[in-house]
Structure 1
Amino acid sequence: MSKIKKMLKNHTKEKITALVFLVIIFGMFIGMMFNFTAVGASFITSYRTDVPTGAPYLERIKGAISAAENAVNEGAFQRQKYIELYGLSQLMMNKKVITDYNYGSLYKTTYGQITFAGIERYVDDSCGATYDLVNNLIANDIDFLYIQLPFKIPPARYGGDAQLPANVKDYANDNADKFVASLNQASVKTYDLRDDFWQSGMTQNELFFNTDHHWSIQGAFLATGLIANYLNENYDMQIPEGLYTEENFNFETYENSYIGSMGRRVGRIYGGIDDFTLIKPNFDTDYTVRHIEGNEPQEFKGSFEEAVLETDYITDPDPTTNRYAVYHGDYRELHFINHLAQNDKKILIIKDSFSLPVYSFLSLGIKEVRAIDMRLFDENAVEYATAYNPDLVILMYNADSFAPPMFDFHLSE
C-alpha cells in the first residue's frame, strides 16, 4: 500500500497535467456544442464541394468522414485564439513553412504572401472529360473556349519558383501547361491568360491578396479586360471598346479590412491583414440577376451595385468575412441580364471561384451571362447549354482546378 501511495505521489505532476488536458478538451467540446449549427453547415458545404454527385458508396463514406473532421476542426471552441498564438510562435522563429491539417503545409512567400503549393495532378482524365464536353457542344452547333486562368504562384518563367522556400515545388502551372497543350493538340480552342496577366506590369501584391489564394479584385478586373479584348478579336462579341478602363470605374479601398482563407489559417499576427478594393462602374446600369442555390431561385433588380453586389460582405465589420464574395459568389447557377447592353450576345461560363469577379465585370459588356459551378451543378451541362443556346460556352478555371469534381459535366445523365 505504501508503494502505491508513493507512486501516486510521485506522479502528481502528470495527473495534474492530464486533468488540465481533459478539462480543456471537455470545455472545447461543450463550446463546439453551442456552435453546432455552424459546424453542421460547414459539414454540408464541405461534403457537397468535395464529393461528386453519384460517387460510389465507399467514396461517399470517406468524403463524409473527411467533411466531419474538417467541420469539427473549423468549429473548435476559441479556435482562432489558438491559431494566433501558434502564428506568433512561428513568426518569432521566422518560419516560412506552417503545418496545416488541410493543406499539409502553408508557405510565406518572398512577397510576404500566404499560399499553398499545388500538387502534381494527372490531367489526362480532365482532358478526356473536356473533349467529350466540346464534341457534344459542337454536335449542337455551340462554340467553345477554354480560358486558362493563373494561380497565385506565377510560372517559373516569371520567377514563381523563387517565391517559395527552398525545395518546395508548386505544380499548378505545370499541370496547366500539360492541360492546355493537350487541348491545343486536339484542336480545342484555348486562351492561356497567364502570359498577358503576368506581363501586365502590376506587382504580385497588387494582383493577389496576401492572405487569400484568390486574385485581388484589381487582378480580376485586369483579367476581365484581357478576356474582353480576346472575345472581341476572336468571337466578335461586340463588347464596347475601352469599357474596362479605370476612368469608367470607382475604386473604393477599405484599408486593413480583410483576412482571407489562408490568413485565417495562420492568424493575423503571422499573416497580416489585407486592404480590400471594391470596384464599381461609374456609368448607368440596369440589371436583373438571378441566383439558384438548391431549388430556390432569388431575383434582384436594379443597378450593378443593387443587383450584382452583395454588399453585406462589405458592411460586415468582421475582417474574416469573405469580402471576395461581394461580386455574387459561389452559387450553383447565376443569371446576369444587362438591360443596357449594346449587343444581344449570350455566354455561358463554367466556372471555379476565380471566375467570381470576372463574370460580374464581364456582364457589364454583354447582354446576358450565365455561370454554373460543376461542384454544385448536377444537371447535364450540354443539355443545359443547348436549351440556353449561348453564342459561346467558356470553361474558365485557374491553374489549380484539376480535381475530378470540376470536370464532371454529367453528360451521361
Structure 2
Amino acid sequence: MKSNNKYRNSIIEKKIKKFNKTYFISISLIFILMLFIFVIANIITDDKEFSEIENRNLQNKPKITSENYVEKFNSYVSDQFFSREKFISLKSRVDIILGKNKINDVYIGKDNQLYEDFKIKSKDDLLNKVDVINEFKKQNNDLNVKFILAPTATSIINDKLPKDAPVDDEIEYIKKVEENLIDDIEFIEVYDELKKYKSDYIYYKTDHHWTTDGAYIAYDAFCKSVGIEAKKKEDFEQIVASNDFYGSLSSKIGLFGLNKDELKLYIPNNLNVIVNYVTEQKKETSLFSSKKLESKDKYQVFLDGNYPLIEIENDKNVDKKILIIKDSYANNFVPFLSENYGKIYLIDLRYYTDSLRDFIKNNNIEEVLLLYNVNTFNEDDSIFNLSS
C-alpha cells in the first residue's frame, strides 16, 4: 500500500513539475513576445512632439554628438515609449485605488477636486521679491501701482483637501507680502471676497486657475479700489465654450475622466477691439481664441495664452490706459477690464526681455497693476525682471 502511495505521489510530483515548467516557459514566451511587439511598435511609430495628457513638449531623438546625450536619450526612450500616455493614466488610477492622494505634487481631494501643493520657498525669497516691487515703485514714483496676489483653490476651498495635507498657508504668505509693501503701493485684498463665494464655482476642479466667475470677483475689487464702476455680469454675453475642459492639474497627473470642467466666457458687448501680439507680429479682433478650444489646454481660449507683450485697444474709455504685469491668472480677468480701459498693455515677465523702464516711459504709462497667483509668485523668479 505504501509502495502504491509512493508511486502515486511520484507521478503527481512529475506532473506538477511538468506543469510548472510548461507554465513558466509559456509566461516567458508571452513576455518575450510582448517585449518584441513593443520594440517593433516603438520602431514603426512616429515620434510625438507634444503630449496632450501632460501638456508638454516631448524629447525627440538626440544626436550622438549632442551635449548630455545619455541623459537626453533616456528621456527620449521614456517620452516616446509606445502607449506611454495610457500607462501614465493607468498608473494614476491604480494609485488612487490604493489610497494614494498625492501624485506629482497634486493632491486629489473630495469630489476629485485637484489641488496644487504649496510650499513656501523661503522667507528671504519672499522679502527679496517684495523689495524688488518696492524699488520698482520708488524708481517710478509717478506711477499709480496696485497689486493683486490671488490665492488658489488650495486655500479658498481647502475643506476638500485630503486630511492633514501638509500644505503651507497661502493666506499667511499673502499677508506677509502685504505687510512688507511700502505704503505707496496699494495692495488689493481679494481672499476674503473669494472665501465668501467658496461654495460657488470660482475655481476649476482640474486646473490651477480661478474660473471666470472667480476672476470677476477680483475685477470687482479692483474697480472699487480705483473708484470706477464695475460692469455687472449681466452686461456681458455669457457663453459656455466647453463642457469637457481638463486642465493643467489633470495633465500633471495624467488622469482624465474623474472630473471635467465647464469653461465659461464673458464677452463684452459692442466692443470693437484690436489685440496686438507684438513679438509675434499678429493682430486679432477678439479677446478670445476659439481655435484653442480644439486643443488640450482650452484655458488658452483667453487671449490665446501667454505672450511677452500684448496691446489691447478698443473704442470704449479711450482716454484710460493701464499696464498689467501678470501671469496667466490675468488672462480671464482682462475681458472684464476692457469695458473700463481703452488701452490695456499686458507684460509677462517670464518671457519679456526688453527694458520695462523704457516701455513705461515710451508709452506714457501712469497706472500699473501687478496680478499674480500666489503659487506662481512664490515659485517663479521672473518678478526680479521688474527692475529691467
TM-score range, shorter chain: 0.7 to 0.9
- CA distance in 1 between counterparts of 2:271 and 2:32 reads 63
Q: What count of residue pairs does the alignment treat as equivalent?
A: 355
Give the superposition deviation at 1:118.
0.9
Partner of residue 259 from structure 2, selected from 269, 272, 285: 272
- Separation in 2 of the partners of 1:388 and 1:78? 51
Question: For each residue in 1:27-51, what CA deviation from the matched residue of structure 2 results, as whole angstroms up to 9, or x when unmatched?
Answer: 5744774314779x94599xxxxxx
Secondary structure of 1:296's partner? coil
Equivalent residue, structure 1, for 2:292:
313
TM-aligned CA deviation for residue 213 of structure 1: 1.2
Shift of 1:397: 0.9
1:13-62 Cα deviation digits (max 9, x unpaired): 785476357447635744774314779x94599xxxxxxxxxxxxxxx99
Q: Does 2:153 align with 1:152?
A: yes
- Structure 2 match to 1:377: 352
Quote how far apart the aligned CAs of 1:380 are: 2.7
Work out the CA distance in 2 between the residues paired with 1:219 and 1:34: 39
* Higher gyration radius (CA): 2
Match of 1:97 among 77, 97, 101: 101
Separation in 2, partners of 1:180, 1:27: 58
Offset at residue 226 of structure 1 (A): 2.1
Give the match for residue 403 of structure 1.
Answer: 379
CA distance in 2, matches of 1:332, 1:277: 25
Shift of 1:217: 1.8
Return the letter of the residue paired with 2:32. Answer: L
The one-letter amino acid paired with 1:400 is: N
Distance 1:267 1:44 in 2: 18
How far apart, CA to CA, are the structure 1 residues paired with 2:136 and 2:102? Answer: 45
Unaligned runs of 5+ in 2: 1-20, 60-66
Measured in 2, the distance between the counterparts of 1:97 and 1:21 equals 32
Give the corresponding residue for 2:135: 135
Shift of 1:86: 2.8
Equivalent of 1:354 in 317, 325, 329: 329
* Deviation string, structure 1 residues 335-394 (Cα, Å, up to 9, x no partner): 11121x235121111111111111232122111111111111112322322222222111
Q: Secondary structure at the match of 1:166?
A: coil
Q: Distance in 2 between matches of 1:89 and 1:363?
A: 46
Provide the secondary structure at the position in 2 that maps to 1:147: strand
Query: Does structure 2 retain, via aligned residues, the 8 Å contact 1:121–1:175?
Result: no
| CA shift digits 1:267-322 (9 cap, x unpaired) | 223x32222222212x2111111113xx4321123xxxxx21111123x2xxx622
Write the distance in 2 (CA, Å) between the matches of 1:262 and 1:212. 5
Indicate if the aligned counterparts of 2:236 and 2:267 stay in contact, CA closer than 8 A. yes
Instruction: Give identity over the alignment, percent.
Output: 20
Letter in 2 for 1:122: S
Cα RMSD between the aligned structures? 3.6
Show the counterpart of 1:300. 284
Task: Classify 1:255/1:371 alpha carbon distance in 2 versus 1 (closer, same or farther; 3 Å).
Answer: closer
Pairs within 5 Å for 1:281-296: 281=268, 283-292=269-278, 295-296=279-280
Instruction: Describe how 1:175-254 pairs up with structure 2 within 5 A.
Output: 175-183=173-181, 188-199=185-196, 201=197, 203=199, 206-232=201-227, 239=228, 241-243=229-231, 245-254=232-241
- Residues of 1 paired with 2:95 and 2:342: CA distance? 50
Output the CA distance in 2 between the equivalents of 1:208 and 1:142. 32
Pick one of 81, 88, 98 that aligns with 2:86: 81
Q: 1:244-274 CA deviation, whole Å, 9 max, x = no partner?
A: x1221222225632111222334223x3222
Equivalent residue number for residue 39 of structure 2: 26
Match of 1:345 in 2: 320
Gap regions ≥5 residues in structure 1: 1-7, 46-60, 233-238, 302-306
Does residue 170 of the first structure (1) align with residue 167 of the second (2)? yes
For 2:297 and 2:380, the matched residues in 1 are separated by 25
1 CA distance for matches of 2:203 and 2:41?
A: 35
- Counterpart AA for 1:273: K
**Conserved 8 A contact 2:309-2:347:** yes
Give the superposition deviation at 1:208. Answer: 0.9
Deviation digits for residues 228-255 of structure 1 (CA, Å, limit 9, x no counterpart) = 22222xxxxxx4x241x12212222256
Residue 192 of structure 1 aligns to a residue whose secondary structure is coil
